Amino acid sequence: MPYSFRKALEERKTHSAALRQAEEWRDIKHAWQMATRVVFGKKHNIFRTLRIVRFSNGTLEVACGHAAECASARLQERELLSALNRILGETLTVHSLRFHLEG
C-alpha cells in the first residue's frame, strides 16, 4: 500500500472517531438538560448551574456552582440516572454521576 493511501485511511479513522465522540457528547448534553428539567422541574434554575465536565467509561462528571446545588443533585442522583438512561435509550448508558464544586 502506498504511504499516502495508508495515511489517508488513518486520517479517515481518526475523523470518524472524532465525529462519533462529538455526537455522543451532543446526545449526553441534550439528555442532561432534559433529565434535570424532568427531575427538578422547568422553573427551577438548578439545571443552568450544573454543568457537565466530562463523560468517560459510563461516569458523568458534573460541576456545581454552589455546595447547596451539589447536595440537592446528590439527593436526586438515582432519579437523574434513571431519567438520563431513559432519554438516551440504548445508544449510551450512564452508570454513575460524580459531582464536584467548580473553582
Predicted confidence (pLDDT) at residue 47 exceeds the cutoff of 70:
no
Torsion of CA 87, 95, 30, 24, to 10 degrees: -110
Task: Answer whether residue 59 is part of any domain.
Answer: yes
Task: Answer whether residue 78 is part of any domain.
Answer: yes
> Per the structure, how many domains does the chain have?
1
Task: Answer whether residue 62 is part of any domain.
Answer: yes
Residue 50's domain is classified under what CATH number?
3.30.300.180
Lowest-pLDDT choice from 7-16, 33-42, 72-81: 7-16
Quote the cell numbers at residue 1.
500500500
Lowest-pLDDT choice from 2-16, 44-58, 70-84: 2-16
Task: Answer whether residue 11 is part of any domain.
Answer: no
Rounded Cα distance, 99 and 103, in Å: 13
Q: What is the pLDDT of residue 86?
A: 93
Task: Answer whether residue 83 is part of any domain.
Answer: yes
Read off the pLDDT band of 21 (50, 70, 90).
confident
Predicted confidence (pLDDT) at residue 77 exceeds the cutoff of 90:
yes
Quote the cell numbers at residue 43.
422553573
